[in-house]
Amino acid sequence: MAFELTDQNFEDRVKTGVTVIDFWAEWCGPCRMIAPIIEELSVEYKDKALIGKLNVDENPEVSMKYGIRSIPTILILKDGEVAAKHVGTTSKQNLARIIDDQLSSAQA
């Protein structure tokens, strides 16, 4: 299951490695469409990357810090820095490719 990120635990959880964050909200239809993909990726990348979800309505500080204006927004962080960003829905294959790219460059 995807890790639930909050304003309180965010800084501690995203310091190192590759982190994928799904910025979402309960009322967002496209967010509900992408949610099962995020859950599947959280299982598949369990030991390689932190896959998390952050509810923008409940966690405004992190959302504001990264300038999230549209949801769903997927941010891929590497060692706490934004390495890639995708706004809107997308396929599981596309997200997996982006994650794999970041994982392989992290090992290089």
Put the strands of the sheet holding 3-4 in their side by side order: 3-4, 50-55, 18-24, 73-78, 81-87
Q: Residue for token digits 């239809």? A: 29
Known catalytic residues are: 28, 31
Both structure tokens of 20: 């994928």
Q: Are 70 and 57 in contact (CB under 8 A)?
A: no
